[in-house]
Amino acid sequence: GDSVTQMEGPVTLSEEAFLTINCTYTATGYPSLFWYVQYPGEGLQLLLKATKADDKGSNKGFEATYRKETTSFHLEKGSVQVSDSAVYFCAHSGGGSNYKLTFGKGTLLTVNP
């Protein structure tokens, strides 16, 4: 069935460090891929998305590339800030008549000054 596996957390980095959070997925059809961010006490905010193979989603310095051959969508940022501290969720939509989002378990990122 559909699933998303993302890197276990928590991840703790110093400010200006490089960030990678790995994400792989299992899906039937041609899903769209998403990264959502959740700040403490808040709902989910869409960070970036990609809708087809080799697309690169980017926003606020974060990037992720849709890799169909490896079924991956790894999140990267070259230089993290304290304000990036949050929980990050990788997700995919099933495509076709499958409308739901399937999420990974989330990765807690803490950035220290």
Partner 1 sequence: DAGVTQSPTHLIKTRGQQVTLRCSPKSGHDTVSWYQQALGQGPQFIFQYYEEEERQRGNFPDRFSGHQFPNYSSELNVNALLLGDSALYLCASTEQRDNEQFFGPGTRLTVL
Is residue 45 close enough to count as binding partner 1 by CB under 8 A?
yes
Task: Tell me if the bond preceding 10 is cis, omega within 30° of 0.
Answer: yes
Is residue 101 close enough to count as binding partner 1 by CB under 8 A?
yes
CB 113 within 8 A of CB 15: yes
Contacting partner 1 (CB under 8 A), which of 49, 62, 86, 109?
49
Residue 73 parent element (H or E): none
Is residue 56 close enough to count as binding partner 1 by CB under 8 A?
no
Closer CB to partner 1, residue 51 or residue 72? 51
Selected range binding partner 1 among 16-24, 56-64, 67-75, 96-104, rule: CB under 8 A: 96-104
CB 74 within 8 A of CB 88: no
Is residue 4 close enough to count as binding partner 1 by CB under 8 A?
yes
Name which of 43, 31, 42, 38 is nearest 4 in CA terms: 31
- Whole-number minimum distance, CB 75 to partner 1, in Å? 15
| 89, 94, 100, 105: CA torsion to nearest 10 | -30
Is residue 103 close enough to count as binding partner 1 by CB under 8 A?
yes
CB 93 within 8 A of CB 99: yes
Residues making contact with partner 1 (CB under 8 A): 4, 32, 34, 36, 42-46, 49, 51, 89, 91, 93, 95, 97-106
